[in-house]
Amino acid sequence: MKLLRYGEPGQERPGLLDSNGRIRDLTDLIGDLSGTALSPESIAHLQSQDVNSLPLVEGNPRLGPCVGKIGKFICIGLNYADHAAETGADIPKEPIIFNKWTSAIVGPNDNVEIPRNSKKTDWEVELGVVIGKGGRYIDEADALEHVAGYCVINDVSEREFQIERGGTWDKGKGCDTFGPIGPWLVTRDEIADPHQLNLWLEVDGKRYQNGNTRTMIFQIPKLVSYLSQFMSLQPGDVISTGTPPGVGLGIKPEPVFLRAGQTMRLGIEGLGEQQQLTVDA
């Protein structure tokens, strides 16, 4: 099942994509795709519905972030062995954790703003994991039971802010519009193995990233269990699981960074595609 949110920013309504690629409205069943609406019980209830009986949404509305009211937007750094190699970093012994502020979240096709004074805005296609069942101290063997589904995330990053300005990575990761999420949340049952998915990203039609989730250093059960040792995970929390090689920072002999007026296009096998225009903030 492909769940989504559609409508103008701040006024999104819940929906799903039917087998013909049309949006069906879920407003009569859930208030939003957030919190307990993402629980196993709620997902099972939605899956039991006759999709063709749900109201059809006409036209081509904007798609919003596929999860609403996100409580925590947790990210994992250097989680692909081949990406760590391109940056010259050692393989982490434990997951590297940082945050994106929820004010960074936008829809999958919304504009991405190049921050004022930015010189090194970069791209990162990532597999997003959406928590459906909360918990603390989750056993790795049970971790996938806590996952509602998966989505595409562009972990847009300003490298000077992140690396050269002191402190933590967060200041270069959480700028407004730096977290496009969607187009839809694909429920866990539709993805046979989240560790065998191709993912890619292009800028102005040039393919920069071309990877597969099989090269993750820490896989999803490990990440969910590990994070739950340090914080409670709650329904609607989103985990961005790291990026494969091909980021602008790693390009040789000279890094390549984004400027206003460019188009990013990215996707993950089975999870859909995003497209963003870069604009000056």
| Closest C-alpha among 152, 77, 51, 111 to residue 264 | 111
Structure token digits, residue 265: 């296009």
Q: For the chain, give every domain's residue range.
A: 2-53, 73-280
Secondary structure of 36-75 in the HEC alphabet?
A: HHHCHHHHHHHHCCCHHHCCECCCCCCECCCCCCCCCEEE
d(C-alpha 214, C-alpha 8), whole Å: 36
Q: Which CATH superfamily is domain 73-280 in?
A: Fumarylacetoacetase-like, C-terminal domain (3.90.850.10)
User: Are β-strands 105-106 and 179-180 bridged in parallel, bridged antiparallel, or unpaired?
Assistant: parallel
Beta carbons within 10 angstroms of residue 273's beta carbon? 14
Per-residue pLDDT averaged across 221-250, rounded? Answer: 97
So what's the pLDDT on residue 82? 77
Confirm whether pTM is higher than 0.85.
Answer: yes
d(C-alpha 87, C-alpha 100), whole Å: 21
Q: What is the pLDDT of residues 13-51, one digit of tens each?
A: 999 999 999 999 999 999 999 999 999 999 999 999 999
**72, burial (CB in 10 Å: exposed 0-12, middle 13-18, buried 19+):** middle
So what's the pLDDT on residue 1? 97
The answer on pLDDT for 62 being more than 90 is: yes
* Least confident window among 86-100, 108-122, 132-146, 241-255: 86-100
CB of 29 closer than 8 Å to CB of 37: no
Query: Rounded to an integer, what is the distance from CA 193 to the centroid of its chain?
Result: 17
User: What is residue 179's DSSP assignment?
Assistant: E
**The tokens 């997003």 sit on which residue?**
128
